Structure 1
């Protein structure tokens, strides 16, 4: 398991990396976020960065909490894949707390941001 590191605590994010022939499929369990809270980027053709940043505005200060145990969470998970991938053809979905990123295998392609689509 990889850790999502933030300033207050670390929590684990189970991540699977599967070789699906012509692509790698990365699945990460990161429940409790909205897709707009997750940024993906591919660097060096082999490193996927998953940045999560829970919008602090959702925990508005005008709310009177009796007890609050779920902190605002943000952090980063990095995932290395064994072979270079084509970031221009990468895709991602986020459904029920599971982020699925599809990374087609390729050679000599620069990194880029990956958009997450809703299902």
Structure 2
């Protein structure tokens, strides 16, 4: 997860990101002012979350930009934590805040693993052979 944390710190200054974790999932919250669900795209490829987003600005026709302080086009590749299940990810956007919920893979249940030895295989084979001679 530290690689994801590092990648979040490298996002543009206009993007604020929070990463939260619970027992069952991760929650990635990205503040993308001016971005809507229609101007954002999320994909998962090869263990990475690809985020593309752009701010859709409505410029009144009688105005031209003298200076633009907050352009936003985000094209980010974020590494997924190894226990994240990308297939079950969910995302929502409200008022420029994108929330991506990544469930965690369930840990394998605890169990005892039996250990066999070569002697057990030989004794099993001997029992089979002795039974065959009685028939």
RMSD after superposition? 2.8
Q: Is the 8 A contact 1:89 1:103 kept in 2?
A: yes
Distance 1:73 1:17 in 2: 21
Bigger share in strand: 1
- Identify the residue that residue 34 of structure 2 maps to in structure 1: 32
CA deviations on 1:40-61 (whole Å, 9 max, x unpaired) are 112233x2221113458x558x
- Quote how far apart the aligned CAs of 1:12 are: 3.7
| Deviation readout 1:73-97 (Å, 9 max, x if unpaired) | 3231233343232222111111122
Aligned pairs, how many?
98
The answer to which structure, 1 or 2, has the higher relative contact order (CA under 8 A, 6+ apart) is 1
What residue in structure 1 maps to residue 52 of structure 2? 51
TM value normalised by structure 2: 0.57
* Greater percentage in helix: 2
Larger Cα-atom Rg: 2
Q: Which consecutive residues of structure 2, in runs of 5 or more, have no partner in the other structure?
A: 1-8, 107-135
Which runs of structure 1 show a deviation greater than 4 angstroms over 4 or more consecutive aligned residues? Answer: none
